[in-house]
Amino acid sequence: MSNRLNTTPNDLRAFWMPFTANRQFKKEPRLFVGAKDMHYTTHDGRQVLDATAGLWCVNAGHCRPKITEAIREQAGELDYAPAFQLGHPKAFELANRLVDIAPEGLNHVLYTNSGSESVDTALKVALAYHRVKGNGSRFRLIGRERGYHGVNFGGISVGGIVANRKMFGTLLTGVDHMPHTHQPGKNAFTRGEPEHGGDLASELERIVTLHDASTIAAVIVEPVAGSTGVLIPPKGYLQKLRDICTRHGILLIFDEVITGFGRMGTPFAAQYYGVTPDIMTTAKGLTNGVIPMGAVLVSSEIHDAFMSGPEHMIEFFHGYTYSGNPIAAAAGLATLETYKEEGLFDRARDMAPYWEDGLHSLKDLPNVIDIRNIGMIGAIELDPIAGEPTKRAFSAFLKAYENGLLIRTTGDIIAMSPPLIAEKHHIDEIFGKLREILKSNI
């Protein structure tokens, strides 16, 4: 019996698309066929202004020559090198360049291929670290409600988005969650860090009291939660988490998959907030989104704890066929050079106030119940249509696309994070178009 779907080359049925309303999409496809700098080109030949850097990843803008050329060259020179027991120079070079811009003390790099893999790698490092230190009873992992840490089993276990968890059985055991920090009643329309909610970090102390510190390996949070709709940490919150973790010998993991590489106007959010984690996960902007790659940075204390036993023995039983892949490493190096040469992190810092003003100018529009921002990140929360959650924001997304603007929605929240090359006129265009869309009573 044939298993063929009887498809033609351009048939849309075979590809089961990720995090997509597949049936809606396939009725009204939205395809990109080209991209340059701040714009996509659609299959029907229109230009779409990218207000989301793809999926929070194209921080230097699209099809940047240095990155494209590095990939082209590397593919012709060394396409693949086995990742286990062998290496190639660019993987080492990139690790050093990452350490150069990382918060002080994060001196070692493990490579992955995505944010989800970075998260699961970080959780495994944390568990194994305690074990090699003789503290194998520290098996618990603590996440946070509304956290997003990718889609693998570790990530959804510590994550706190119910739709991403409820279909998938028992997940990891020994996981607990802190409350999220979103308090729109108290903090609505805050510019930057909210005043209220810093004390929610004390909930970690309560969890420690419940389980005992001797059972807890690590706490993982996004410094700024992105995929759940942009939740900005209240003043003092992250420092408090840091203090509690330090006091109880618990590792603090920052998931910087979207906050890394200049999004906050600093290399990483850790530097923006002046709070250094023990482990940091990255991906996305590491290669400007062009080639799948992630990296997990760990402290020397953690790395060195594994460097014992006979020298011929593997120290950590973990890694991927594509860890530090040559083409990805070349893309990563060219990306970091582009960020540096064009001063894009500083540029993001300098542009952030203009971004903030533009965003908050939409406050008067119908159904807008909150606006929040930090660095080059912004969110507009809409009042859900009664009985039809997510529909209002999804309509805004579709209208924006028709009107030549790419935004992202999650629930009834519009989230934006433009490439860091955005000029003032791009920002004006983003908020001008959004004003018209939100005014039209979606």
Q: Comparing C-alpha atoms, which of 338, 290, 264 is closest to residue 62?
A: 290
Residue of the chain from 38, 119, 142, 415 that contacts ligand PLP (CB under 6 A): 119
| Element counts in the chain: helices (H) and strands (E) | 16, 15
116 binds ligand PLP (CB under 6 A): yes
Residue of the chain from 58, 220, 245, 257 that contacts ligand PLP (CB under 6 A): 257
Query: Are the C-beta atoms of residues 143 and 156 closer than 8 Å to each other?
Result: no
Task: State which residue, 123 or 400, has the beta carbon closest to ligand PLP.
Answer: 123
Task: State which residue, 160 or 197, has the beta carbon closest to ligand PLP.
Answer: 160
Task: State which residue, 230 or 422, has the beta carbon closest to ligand PLP.
Answer: 230
Q: Give the nearest distance from C-beta 231 to ligand PLP in angstroms.
A: 11
Task: State which residue, 74 or 113, has the beta carbon closest to ligand PLP.
Answer: 113
As given in the structure block, the two tokens for residue 60 are 């230097």
The position carrying tokens 């909210």 is: 194
CB atoms under 10 Å from CB of 134, counted, come to 8
Nearest 5 degrees, angle CA 391-CA 396-CA 401?
125
What binding mask, one character per residue, do residues 195-234 give for ligand PLP by CB under 6 A, x or -? ---------------------------x---xx-------
As given in the structure block, the two tokens for residue 59 are 């921080």
Task: State which residue, 259 or 373, has the beta carbon closest to ligand PLP.
Answer: 259
Q: Which residue is nearest to ligand PLP (CB)?
A: 115
Q: Give the nearest distance from C-beta 38 to ligand PLP in angstroms.
A: 21
Distance from chain centroid for Cα 150: 8
Q: Binding residues for ligand PLP, how many (CB under 6 A)? A: 14
410 binds ligand PLP (CB under 6 A): no
User: Contact region for ligand PLP (CB under 6 A) — 109-117, 178-186, 188-196, 371-379?
Assistant: 109-117
**Backbone phi, then psi, for 176, in 5-degree steps?**
-130, 165
283 binds ligand PLP (CB under 6 A): yes
149 binds ligand PLP (CB under 6 A): yes
Residue of the chain from 115, 267, 378, 411 that contacts ligand PLP (CB under 6 A): 115
Task: State which residue, 194 or 226, has the beta carbon closest to ligand PLP.
Answer: 226
Query: Are the C-beta atoms of residues 130 and 162 closer than 8 Å to each other?
Result: no
Query: Are the C-beta atoms of residues 269 and 242 closer than 8 Å to each other?
Result: no
Residue of the chain from 148, 261, 268, 339 that contacts ligand PLP (CB under 6 A): 148
255 binds ligand PLP (CB under 6 A): yes
Task: State which residue, 257 or 352, has the beta carbon closest to ligand PLP.
Answer: 257
User: Contact region for ligand PLP (CB under 6 A) — 112-120, 132-140, 202-210, 235-243?
Assistant: 112-120
Which DSSP letter does residue 285 get?
Answer: G
Query: Are the C-beta atoms of residues 295 and 98 closer than 8 Å to each other?
Result: yes
Q: Which of residues 22-61 bind ligand PLP (CB under 6 A)?
A: none
**Using alpha carbons only, how large is the chain's radius of gyration in Å?**
22
The position carrying tokens 């805004």 is: 396
Task: State which residue, 344 or 377, has the beta carbon closest to ligand PLP.
Answer: 377
Distances (CA, A) of 295 to 81, 257, 282: 18, 9, 5
Q: Give the nearest distance from C-beta 294 to ligand PLP in angstroms.
A: 7
The position carrying tokens 């960020």 is: 339
377 binds ligand PLP (CB under 6 A): no
Residue partners of 220: CB distance under 8 A and separation at least 6:
119, 122, 123, 141, 142, 143, 144, 147, 149, 158, 253, 254, 255
Task: State which residue, 293 or 442, has the beta carbon closest to ligand PLP.
Answer: 293
Q: Comparing C-alpha atoms, which of 154, 205, 156, 150 is closest to residue 179?
A: 205
Contact residues: ligand PLP, CB under 6 A: 114-116, 119, 148-150, 222, 226-227, 255, 257-258, 283
